[in-house]
Structure 1
Amino acid sequence: MKALLGILGVVGISLGVMAFFYGQDIEASINRDGLAKECPSSSPIFVRVRNWTFSTVKQVNFRMELYKGQRSRNLLSNSSYILDYVIEPFNSQTGCYSDEYTDRLIATKDQRDGGEEYVKVSLSDAIAEVNAAREFGSSHSVYITNVEYQMLD
């Protein structure tokens, strides 16, 4: 009898934990000491989508907002984004994003040959870009809203 109660207790706890985590989850980070360190400096906004369901996610549409300090004006030129990876049940997928604002603030580019962009290759420029990305992460905050998950049938 005690063994049966123990098994029922474990099953009940497992179902409770599963119900708590079931669904989809999306998060964003610009913290270069945290999740965003996985992204290159040129695309400093890290986004991860977790699919904690038995269905497959086909794509995720979302709105992203970026603020500096305590200001409330969205600094991103384009606020609509897509994570277009298929995400199998109980898996996750990540993406790294940039915008005109982040490009102007972080990316080191050189205009040559009729306006074509070339990335400068030098250690001092690379260090400056990493430092700019770190400063960006500490002075800005990112939020995700209006999330729409498209599921495979």
Structure 2
Amino acid sequence: MSGLPVSSKSSIFCPLAQNIKVCDLGEGVADKLEKIRLRKEKTNFALIFKIKDEVIVLEDELENMSVDELQAELPTSQPRYVVLSYCYKHNDGRTSYPLLFIFLSPSGCKPEQQMMYAGCKLNFVKASGLTKVNEIRNVEELTEEYIQEKLSFYH
């Protein structure tokens, strides 16, 4: 496996306290992240991750879905990490398939959950090699317009 600086069972550490382990990448997570990076299909694709027992695990894999369908799959009161390969049409007519990381952190979820996800977020992003990082506080924020606006900032 090339490109990702993680093994399938890498530890994620809190950046402020390097000796305190926050959570691990679950079995197969690094492989799934590599798969989405090397993807050749020309459709939207999303990986949804959750933290279970201090381990980041793949919760769902959505192929050829709309942003509305992705939104419908996300919980409204629990944090999630989403890695999205999005079919982006540039103003000059080109099409690209950028990868976005979206951290869903609903304001109504348990503080312990928010802290766990926030503590793992930066290292998960670093381990995955993603550069387009976004955070939303409400599932309804995740719209086609939101993604287009964020991508226009990066491109």
Q: Please report the TM-score for the alignment, with normalisation by the length of structure 1.
A: 0.24
The structure showing larger relative contact order (alpha-carbon pairs under 8 Å, at least 6 residues apart) is 1
Q: Which has the larger radius of gyration?
A: 1
More strand by share: 1
